[in-house]
Amino acid sequence: MPHSHHAKIVATLGPASADRATITALVRAGANVFRLNFSHGTHADHRQRFELIRAIEAELGRPIGILLDLQGPKLRIGSFAQGPVQLLDGAAFRLDLDAARPGDATRASMPHPQIFAALKPGAELLLDDGKLKLEVQSCGADHADTRVVNGGLLSDRKGVNVPGVVLPLSALTEKDRADLDFGLSLGVDWVALSFVQRAADITEVKQIVQGRAGIVAKLEKPAAIDSLEAILAETDAVMVARGDLGVEMPAEQVPAIQKRIVRACRRLGKPVIVATQMLESMIAAPVPTRAEASDVATAIYDGADAVMLSAESASGRFPVESVAMMARIIAQTEADPHYRDALDASHTPPSANTADAIGHAAHAVAGLLDVAAMVAYTSSGASALRMARERPRARILGMTPNPATARRLALVWGVHPVLCQDVTNVSEMTEVAIQTAVTQQFAASGQTIVIAAGMPFGASGSTNLLRIAQVG
């Protein structure tokens, strides 16, 4: 049986979910895509998890997406000579490039010349996930003299964030390049790029990937929000990485930014994942807080394609329960009569092109005839994406002869991907679509399905055909 929910679940794998039995249970509980977080674990760890997913996929007969999440640049201060230091509000504190000299209560190393190159007096530096704030008083190519705005205890190797400044850094480190090459050799379906600041960051990784995987832009920097439209034009999908975004921007602005990103992605028909701290308390507890349940529901009401679990499924005590809880929240939200009102109210008109016209027409026909299922017969996935953009009531069967396309569609709202044979004509296509709708329990005898496809068959991006068929 396919999962009943339209919105998808991305579950991160880790020490708590590395064995075959647990991964199988996660799929059965509702996970559609698995995230391999390359900030942790070895290549051997990730290879083993990748192979387990593919084995489970073959066993269950259900395409499963695999997302490689690259670590990206990690900006950190150096170490301290005698353990953590207390920085007092208003005190002077110097940062420099001298990594060989341990820090103290007056200075620390920050071995990132790119940060110093971008700093100006008045710029802010956030340390340890924003717990401490420094304001730059003066700076040069190898140092910055700062004033402590918000003090606190500072220990070795804490992270540095520089809000409001575009850093002259590639989003790809040497580690990322090696990880990307390894992941592509395995055959991952999606690559999530961290530290995106500008559209050129996406272009850089696309030139390496060469279409072998879809690109997910992780939006976690204010600069990325400033360049949102340009980034969306370049990327295949988006992740709202609220953790880092909430460090560099005021927390009260993050909900509105999340809604803005989801709306923009829905308008363009590009998958959007809402991530970070969704069911955070389930790392240690078998149930979430009511606020967390509401947070997940909000993303579903907005029409996000997917919601993501991080530590909850990777290292928490209740990985399977976390996925099951998320699936129940999604199902309950989608069953609310006001859910459809919210989706329809936030819908935007399609673009004036053939693919969007077919998707829009399929949605209209489905509404008029109360169809049992919508079928997108697709080589590249484009037909299914255009259908999903409309957020129809009926479930979408994403039928494709291409395994890579089927796995990528596992991320897309409302799409149940199915591998099928190649077809050569409309009659054969219709017959295969009807058979699949019945065997997948999407339609029964006497019901109607709507089929969108492209002719000639097998050509990517050629959606130009709409067919209405009766199930015999």
Dump pLDDT digits (tens) for 17-38.
999 999 999 999 999 999 999 9
- Residue at 344 is within a domain: no
Cβ-in-10-Å burial (0-12, 13-18, 19+) of 69 comes to buried
Structure confidence by residue, pLDDT tens digits, 287-308: 999 999 999 999 999 999 999 9
Residue 80 resides in a domain: no
Strand order in the sheet with 143-150: 107-109, 92-96, 143-150, 132-140, 124-127, 160-161
**pLDDT on residue 458:** 67
Amino acid 461: pLDDT? 64
Q: Is residue 397 part of a domain?
A: yes
Q: Quick one: pLDDT at residue 356?
A: 86
Looking at residue 143, its pLDDT comes to 97
Phi, psi angles (nearest 5°) of residue 337: -55, -30
Interstrand relation of 395-400 and 415-419 (parallel, antiparallel or unpaired): parallel
CA dist., res. 140 & res. 234, Å (int): 35
135 contacts 147 by C-beta, under 8 angstroms:
yes
For residue 465, what pLDDT is reported? 87
307 neighbors 325 (Cβ within 8 angstroms): no
Our measurement of the distance from residue 17's CA atom to the centroid of its chain's CA atoms, rounded to an integer in Å, reads: 19
| Domain shared by 320 and 383, yes or no | no
- Residue 387 inside a domain? The answer is yes
Same domain, 183 and 299: yes
Q: Is 188 exposed, middle or buried (0-12, 13-18, 19+ CB in 10 A)?
A: buried
* 262, 272 contact by CB (below 8 A): yes
- Residue 347: the pLDDT is 86
What is the separation, in whole angstroms, between the first and last Cα of the chain?
21
Q: Are residues 180 and 234 in the same domain?
A: yes
Verdict on whether the full-model pTM lies above 0.75: yes
Residue 69 maps to a domain: yes
Token duo for residue 269: 């028909």
35 in catalytic set: yes
- Strand partners for 228: none
pLDDT for 277 equals 93
Number of domains present in the structure of the chain: 3
Answer yes or no: 218 catalytic: yes
Going from the C-alpha of 77 to that of each of 87, 96, 106, 113, 159, the distances in angstroms are 14, 9, 13, 12, 7
- Catalytic-role residue among 47, 76, 147, 467: 76
* The pLDDT of residue 318: 98
Are 202 and 242 in the same domain?
A: yes
The answer to whether residues 296 and 374 belong to one domain is no
List the CATH number of the domain containing 19.
Answer: 3.20.20.60
The reply to whether 190 and 306 lie within a common domain is yes
Instruction: Please name every residue paired with 238 in a beta bridge, in sequence order, or none if there are none.
Output: 217, 272
Are both 206 and 60 inside the same structural domain? yes
| Residue 144, pLDDT score | 98
Say if CB 209 and CB 215 are below 8 A apart.
yes
Let me know whether 207 and 314 are in one domain: yes
Distance CA 207, CA 216 (A): 14
Q: Is residue 347 part of a domain?
A: no
Of 218, 221, 386, 389, which residue is the catalytic one?
Answer: 218
CATH number of the domain within which 147 lies? 2.40.33.10
In angstroms, the CA 420 to CA 337 distance is: 34
Q: Are residues 155 and 178 in the same domain?
A: no
- What does residue 415 show for φ and ψ, rounded to 5 degrees? -95, 125
Share of the chain above pLDDT 70, in %: 98
Which one of 161, 186, 203 terminates a domain? 161
Question: Six-digit token pair at 154?
Answer: 């500072």
- Residue from 35, 107, 133, 198 carrying the catalytic annotation: 35
Q: Of the candidates 218, 223, 127, which has an alpha carbon nearest to the alpha carbon of residue 168?
A: 223
Q: Is residue 65 included in any domain, yes or no?
A: yes
Place of tokens 């067919």: 467
| pLDDT of 2 | 62
Catalytic residue selected from 235, 276, 333, 436: 276
> Last residue of some domain: 124, 139, 161?
161
Residues 456, 353, 390, 275: what is their CA dihedral angle, to the nearest 10 degrees?
A: 100
What domain range includes position 383?
354-470
Single out the residue in 302, 335, 368 at which a domain terminates.
Answer: 335
Query: Do 375 and 431 fall into the same domain?
Result: yes
Any bridge partners for residue 417, and if so which? 398
In a shared domain, residues 119 and 245: no
Which CATH number characterizes residue 373's domain?
3.40.1380.20
CA–CA separation, 304 vs 294, rounded Å?
14
Tell me whether residue 423 is in a domain: yes
- The answer to whether 406 and 400 have CB atoms below 8 angstroms apart is yes
**What's the CA gap between 358 and 349, in Å, rounded?**
13
pLDDT tens digits, the chain, 472 residues: what are they?
566 799 999 999 999 999 999 999 999 999 999 999 999 999 999 999 999 999 999 999 999 999 999 999 999 999 999 999 999 999 999 999 999 999 999 999 999 999 999 999 999 999 999 999 999 999 999 999 999 999 999 999 999 999 888 999 999 999 999 999 999 999 999 999 999 999 999 999 999 999 999 999 999 999 999 999 999 999 999 999 998 888 989 989 999 999 999 999 999 999 999 999 999 999 999 999 999 999 999 999 999 999 999 999 999 999 999 999 999 999 999 999 999 998 988 888 888 888 889 889 998 998 899 899 999 999 999 999 999 999 999 999 999 999 999 999 999 999 999 999 888 889 999 999 999 999 999 999 999 999 998 877 767 766 888 999 999 8
Q: Which residue has the tokens 């600069």?
A: 223
Do 320 and 217 share a structural domain? yes
Helix boundaries (H) for 228-310: 228-234, 242-248, 254-268, 290-302
